[in-house]
Amino acid sequence: MKKINSEFYDLQIRIISGLVFGALGLFSLALGGLIATVFLAFCLAVLGWEILYIFSNGNVVDTRVGKIIPIILFLVPILNFYDFYPVIILLSTALASTFYSESKVLKMFCMLYVSLSVLMFQEILFSEKLLHNFYNLLLVVGAVASSDIGGYFFGRIVGGPKIYKSISPNKTWAGSLGGVLCSVIACLLISPLFDHSLSWACFLGFVLAVSAQAGDFFESWLKRKFKMKDSGVLLPGHGGFFDRLDGLLAAVPVYCGLVFFM
């Protein structure tokens, strides 16, 4: 019993903080319009700050860049909501020029990565090309969350060989397969809202789980590279927003590619 308890020592705080953040997020997104946009803008601003936090080994707080970049990123989804595309291009150019002198290609990639992912999330929520926009959002979030939950429990209970110990020492093959299984089940449960075939639902569950796990590994690699344990401290039991949303940030562009181009 003690061994089982030790495997889940952080579960309670993870559940509480995850439920609070998830409920707040889904409520804001369900309201739609400017409220949902402001929530996404806030998330993007925090993600940008956390990327700077990782790259600076936690010393970004008092820097000029640490104050300016989150403000720029906060404006991007709001301007996109009002179709101010030229302004977004100008802001992106300003953002790029901030890093040019430092030659931080990886940093720039990370900024563009989270920005484009949030904008694609916004596209899923508001695009007129999709039917049942909020249901599409629920499908992606549900699949990724199920993959995370399945990976956590299967990994802790079954254990077994590690996937890539030097990057993510706690990730096991059992956890990965369990995550895929739970993601597929989630898509099967949600698919009746779209009249999806069983084969398409299974395909979505598999692809979204693999994408989410790839995003998780990328963020783990990034933190290892800069010797950071967490991307932030805003979500107890999880770390930062980047720690919690890493899988979703990778899965959303993949889902957009599937629903808009297939």
Backbone angles phi, psi at 194, to 5 degrees: -115, -5
Structure tokens at 163: 């996937």
Q: How many CA atoms lie within 13 A of 154 on its CB side?
A: 21
Structure tokens at 123: 């596209």
116, pLDDT greater than 50: yes
Q: What does the pLDDT average to over 165-185?
A: 90
Structure tokens at 34: 């400017």
Contact between 260 and 225 under an 8 Å Cβ cutoff? The reply is: no
Contact between 119 and 80 under an 8 Å Cβ cutoff? The reply is: yes
For the ranges 64-68, 142-146, 153-157, the lowest mean pLDDT is seen at 64-68
Q: What does the pLDDT average to over 159-173?
A: 85
Between CA 72 and CA 83 the distance in angstroms is: 16
The amino acid present at 176, given as its one-letter code, is: S
205, pLDDT greater than 90: yes
CA 134 to chain centre: 17
Query: Of the candidates 113, 175, 174, 188, which has an alpha carbon nearest to the alpha carbon of residue 148?
Result: 175
Place of tokens 């590690």: 162
Q: Model confidence at 2, in pLDDT bands (50, 70, 90)?
A: very low
Helix (H, G, I), strand (E, B) or coil at 31: helix
- pTM given for the model: 0.85
Compute the residue count for the chain.
Answer: 262
Helix (H, G, I), strand (E, B) or coil at 172: strand
Contact between 45 and 73 under an 8 Å Cβ cutoff? The reply is: yes
Between CA 139 and CA 137 the distance in angstroms is: 5
